[in-house]
Structure 1
């Protein structure tokens, strides 16, 4: 199918009424901003033709390289517009031309939430570009009427830049007359499953997706997830088999429930990815050609308004991930997550770990038992007396690293978990969520290559804490201190267990 280099923007005139007394409406502003971005990217004037109810008869769609549809109830009610869009999308499908290198030639734009599947069935599986903001407190969608400011910069302009680059990619491929890239042309090692998220994690997901694509990775899913649970599960499973890594971003929103399911789409993707991880572990035990697969679950460190349902979901995720080296729960800043993702994909992560020399260890056996004192950076001074007592008692004490590259810091932490005889987690200034994460790391130690059983583990409370003590009992962790100030006798239960 031959294409020209035209771009058509389909919209209903009802959606372009002047905004709050301004001269231009939503569509006119969108048209102006997108044209400017495309001109900057291509270094050529971008001509985007506006097509509405009054101009559709004089604007033939045949051969158009890129079609943009502002999907709203008004557009869905226009038979002229929807017929043209469905007919063209159907022709593209018949010619296997709708998708080019993972990008659809027809771009669905939402200025507010709307399901256009009934009116535009030929575009049902095309991923939309959502240009609206979700209120973090109420969860309500807010249409942009002001296009500048911090909120617009994150939710509107970031998405618009992505869209402009995708359109530019389509136009470049059209001018080169390039063939559609098949699935086999993209290696599994360069393919990542980035799970769909709750509404509060959409921006973070876009940031990760942009990073991956800019570094040459293919990101799945490249289609809208099915709304019926059976079809959705099949789609997710198929996509995961093509991937080297799956990434799941967890926030305060549990996510919507597809038809026929009692759990959310976020939960479903995690469960299928968990099962897939176990399957790949079993496969790699006997396979001649290994197919490494790992799973990163990022829990936002800024959670505030979390429902009981979401708390249970997050705890289940941590427990499930603790059983496998190939799955890891991270509750770190987003910037640090990007470094971890890069380690997994570029260096092979834990699958290519070098057993290099690290500070604090000697390779030869000194005979001293090693205690890993896990402490937050803010607590280093407060643990001075505790550490001195342990060292004076003949133990070798190692601690986390706080400087250098994030990947090295993570490696040292895992190496300490792998080698120590016992571990004490110091609960001082750190939040309880951080303490629980470190307890999970102790459970995962065998996955990091630990061969011997951990003799003793404890959480040392610097003063009383209003926490659920049963959590620590369930994790078989001794609770030390808990009444203020360091005293050597606090350590007696731990050291007795360590020496058994």
Structure 2
């Protein structure tokens, strides 16, 4: 089994309705709380995924199928809306199909499916597929009026203490399941590379690449002899290796190579096709294909394959084809492995301001001040590509500033996770130089008791952001940023 996510949350988007880009809805708050507790139990960041895209009328996407197959636990948020969502029911049925196919729906005494009931539904209303599973209900019948009421998610709300207990019980149950699953991804898929079979004429280059990768601490697959009696057994082993890798490297010379029983193409050609198939399923999987410049006396079949490789789009899926000196190819491999963030050499210092919709009124005041101070100001796009823009800003910005006014602390926590942890997974290798939280109206006990070390807490600025308080708070932020820029410049030089 090769997993990437600890938990996949399946839910109807009507169960997460709010006025803040789906960051303050019931499911969003549940997500944040579950992830925090599970992270504490696992001793590492828990990988909890849910789909933020609107689903109405959309087909069952390939990327959802991919995430379901890579998730250890399937958590479904049951409500009447869940039963009316063909999308949610498709997710449930597909996860059950995959788990039953692998024979691992139950791990020890623990189920990989966790049904959570947000809104009252009778047992007859609930999915038939879940009739044998244990539900955790997040509502309670009020004895005085006989009406089912959802448990509060905030301190001081009705049923909040019971909500916390149930959330803790679910996190513990998932923790037990996750730790029992034998996970091939523990070898760290981001440190595993598939080095494709090659031919005798470029064996020296193959050995040099392999030794370099091993010396840098990467796992190189295959790490044992592949069965070469028949193409079927060979294919099974190669596809297993590809599934465990984030990158494949293919070295192509003038020789066509070995053809196995049952095959019509060489092993090098087949591995390229199978790696291309892997790229179609998982777009994060990359291929580097090097073509030797020394192609004198090239095999005619190899010549035809190289021409096909450079002209056919399907053969190039996920691939970067490089015809250059070998040392240049080695350099390119190192660049891909380290996932460097391209530099922006325009001399501008970029500050990414993150704010939720309720706090938009504060944004112009803060942005205008920073702009007049000479900084490039970035903000979250409100278009369909918002997530992509968000990632891009975090990849390139020098500093982040989170506005914490009317929004919920869970939203702030999520943005802080983005800028400290998730951004590394998106490919950023350097730390963001300065991260800060700008606190403004309304004044709450939650803000008074905010204890965060991963970002600088600026002096609170209440009373509709008077200019003097605004400038004082932001100057504190800019002072720290300039110090970090100065230190970073010295290190770079």
Question: Which category of TM-score, normalised to the shorter sequence, fits these structures?
Answer: 0.3 to 0.5
TM-score under structure 1 normalisation?
0.38
What TM-score results when the alignment is normalised by the length of structure 2? 0.39
Q: Which structure's relative contact order is higher, taking Cα pairs within 8 Å and 6+ residues apart?
A: 2
